[in-house]
Structure 1
Amino acid sequence: MRTGLASRTGRWTLTAALCAVLFALLAALVSARHGAPYPLDESLHRWSVRHRPPVAVALARGITATGSGPVPYLCALTAGLVAGWGRGSRGRLLTAAGALGFLLLAQGVRYAVMYAVDRPRPPVADWAAHASGFAFASGHATTSALAAGLLAWAAWRASSPATARLCWALLACWAVAVGLTRVYLGVHWPTDVLGGWLFALTWLAAAMAVCAGRGQGEVARAAAG
């Protein structure tokens, strides 16, 4: 059991480190061009602008709205309450507060990165939705991925493996859809969205490594006692 927890901690730590390195590399590449888009950015952006029938735009706006505002924070609270089920009222509230605090902390760091990179968004004339702030990394992509990860963690703790896998698949589709709408609506370059996903994965994997490490510690203390 202890060996399994240790290997799980190692895998999550390695995943977090890999995502962090990839995110740092992407941020460096974006900064090296002073925020100028790469050819792939421009190509996908042009395709999006040329393929925007009203129905698709309305659908994209509806999906993108779930990646910002109160929805992700309500998801974080829900994840904490579900994950803390069985720990009593105090335990559930503390778990919910921890999940919300995790999301807020990650958002604070993302804002610091966003202002440090200082990347301009695509031309305003191409926007099909409201946007504000700098482009890298995408806030909607980051926030929805973090919220999806928290809900997936709650499903893993509170449901059967089959149900958890179904929840993971649905949540991954939601997070990916939100990120793609930011490109489709013309308010982000594709590398902004990729950066948001890598940033979120770094935080989620690091959190899972901490959780696995705590589990390993609890097993060790129980064995010693």
Structure 2
Amino acid sequence: MTAPGPEPGPEPRPPRPDAEPVPPAGPRRPGAVPLLVFAAVCAALFTAVTLTVSVRHGTPLAPERAALRWSTAHHGEPLRSLARALTATGSGPVPYLLAVLAGLLAGRGAAGRLRAVLCAVAALAVGQAIRYGLMELLARPRPPAADWAGHASGYAFPSGHATTSALAAGLLAWGIARRARPAVARTWCVALALWAVGVGLTRVYLGVHWPGDVLGGWLLAAVLLALALLLEPLALPRRDRLIRPGTSPSSRAFP
């Protein structure tokens, strides 16, 4: 008499034809405490830079003057044309297109994608409004127009191109991190960071901003991105976030 074999388990259910494919797992969302610490550090640094600009009434520091002299002496081709082309991507429709793409990648389902797009565009628009307000409040003069190798308007601090490109890069990195595998997401995050840094540096190279303006823009964008991540659970309900494969039903959203 042979021993009975193990009872067969339930057959796996075939996937629904209308089910949306589950994306691969991406990097874990940072916790609230690290985000708060990061935001606080960046806010403190931004406050220090802002106070320095305000106390000196916009007068540039010695390193800023040195950077302007260097850039003026190196306005030759093809660097000037390359810098103009790169700096053009840091304003206008490009950052908003990146924000829309970030929302499309981050959301789940039609309603979730629409909500994510609106949140991403709103985060970028709020950053723009804060930046404009600070520029008018501080009214820091730009470098002398005779040293410009590109177009600019308005006051100098914080740099609009630096703030906007850093915000757009961070938003798109957030969207990619929710859709792509970790290795792919990290590669895109590095590429986007290099793009944002390049846009900021072109503003100094073209002679339309002091280095402190660009640094202030990067710090402001970092604070706003950290706060946006903290508010993400309020903006995107759990049902609208992407589901990681292998997670339990009780933890189907990023912790």
TM-score w.r.t. the length of structure 1 is 0.90
Quote the Cα distance in structure 2 between the aligned partners of 1:45 and 1:200. 24
- Partner amino acid for 2:125? L
Give the Å deviation of 1:31: 0.6
User: Paired residues, what number?
Assistant: 216
Gaps of 5+ in 1: none
Does structure 1 residue 188 correspond to structure 2 residue 209?
Answer: yes
Structure 1 SS opposite 2:200: helix
Q: For 2:141, which of 108, 115, 120 is the aligned residue?
A: 120
CA contact (8 A) 1:9 1:213 kept: no
Give the Å deviation of 1:209: 2.5
**Which residue is 2:72 aligned to?**
49
- Partner amino acid for 1:12? L
Give the Å deviation of 1:7: 7.5
**Which residue is 2:37 aligned to?**
14
Structure 1 SS opposite 2:158: coil
Structure showing the higher helix proportion among its residues: 1
Q: For 1:102, which of 117, 123, 126 is the aligned residue?
A: 123
Q: For 1:137, which of 155, 158, 167 is the aligned residue?
A: 158
Shift in alpha-carbon separation, 1:95–1:214, aligned structure 2, 3 A: closer
Q: For 1:170, which of 191, 201, 213 is the aligned residue?
A: 191
**Which residue is 2:13 aligned to?**
none
Q: For 1:75, which of 95, 98, 119 is the aligned residue?
A: 98
CA contact (8 A) 1:6 1:212 kept: no
Per-residue CA deviations over 1:182-206 (Å, capped at 9, x if unaligned) read 0000000000000000000000111
Quote the Cα distance in structure 1 between the aligned partners of 2:29 and 2:77. 52
Per-residue CA deviations over 1:99-118 (Å, capped at 9, x if unaligned) read 00110011101111111111
| RMSD of Structure 2 on Structure 1 (CA) | 2.3
CA contact (8 A) 2:162 2:199 kept: yes
Quote the Cα distance in structure 2 between the aligned partners of 1:31 and 1:10. 31
What is the aligned-residue identity percentage?
52
Quote the Cα distance in structure 2 between the aligned partners of 1:169 and 1:26. 26
Per-residue CA deviations over 1:21-47 (Å, capped at 9, x if unaligned) read 110110010010100100010001100
Shift in alpha-carbon separation, 1:220–1:37, aligned structure 2, 3 A: farther
Structure 1 SS opposite 2:155: coil
